[in-house]
Amino acid sequence: MSRIVLTGMPAAGHLNPSLPLVRELVRRRVEVTYYTSDEFRDQVEHTGAEFRPYPAGTIAAEDIAEATRTGSPVRVVTRVLTATETLLPFLLTELRAQQPAAVAFDSNAIWGRMAAVSLGLPTISFMTTMMLGGASMKSLTAREWVHFIRTAMPDVPGAIAAKRQVLRRFDKQIFPPRPTFPMRGDVTLFPIPRWLQPPDPRIDERCHYIGPTIEQDTRNRDLDAELAAHLDTLEPLVLVSLGTLHAGSDAFFRSCFEVFADLPARFLLSVGSHTDPARLGQPPTNTLVRASVPQLDVLRRTAVFVTHGGMNSVLEGLAYGVPLVVIPQQFEQLVIGQAVADRGAGAVLRQNLSNRPVPPAELRAAVERALTDSDQRTAAKTISETLYQGGGAAAGAEAIQSLLTSKL
Domain 225-386 has CATH 3.40.50.2000: yes
Extended beta strands in 1-57, E state: 3-7, 31-36, 50-53
Read off the pLDDT of residues 148-196 as tens digits, 9 standing for 90 and up. Answer: 999 999 999 999 999 999 999 999 999 999 888 899 999 999 999 999 9
Tell me which H or E stretch contains 366. Answer: helix 360-372
Q: CATH topology for 3-212+389-406?
A: Rossmann fold (3.40.50)
Read off the pLDDT of residues 264-302 as tens digits, 9 standing for 90 and up. Answer: 999 999 998 777 777 888 999 999 999 889 999 999 999
Helices (H), 300-356: 311-319, 331-342
Q: Using CA atoms, how far apart are residues 110 and 124, in angstroms rounded to an integer?
A: 12
Cross-strand pairs, 275: none
State the sign of the Cα–Cα–Cα–Cα dihedral 370, 373, 376, 379.
positive
Within a 10 A sphere around the Cβ of 126, how many other Cβ atoms?
30
Q: Using CA atoms, how far apart are residues 209 and 24, in angstroms rounded to an integer?
A: 17
The amino acid that residue 259 corresponds to is: V
pLDDT score at 120:
96
Which regions in the chain score pLDDT beneath 50? Answer: none
Of 191, 155, 258, 138, nearest to 18 by C-alpha is 191
Is residue 211 helix, strand or coil?
coil
User: For the chain, which residues make up each domain, given as ranges?
Assistant: 3-212+389-406, 225-386
Is residue 10 helix, strand or coil?
coil
**Backbone torsions φ then ψ of 105, nearest 5 degrees:** -150, 145
**Angle at the Cα of 180 (from 174 to 185), degrees rounded to 5?**
65
pTM, whole model, 2 decimals? 0.92
Cross-strand pairs, 7: 35, 105
**Backbone torsions φ then ψ of 84, nearest 5 degrees:** -60, -30
Cross-strand pairs, 4: 32, 102
Q: Using CA atoms, how far apart are residues 35 and 44, in angstroms rounded to an integer?
A: 9
Domains 3-212+389-406 and 225-386 agree in fold: yes
pLDDT score at 79:
95
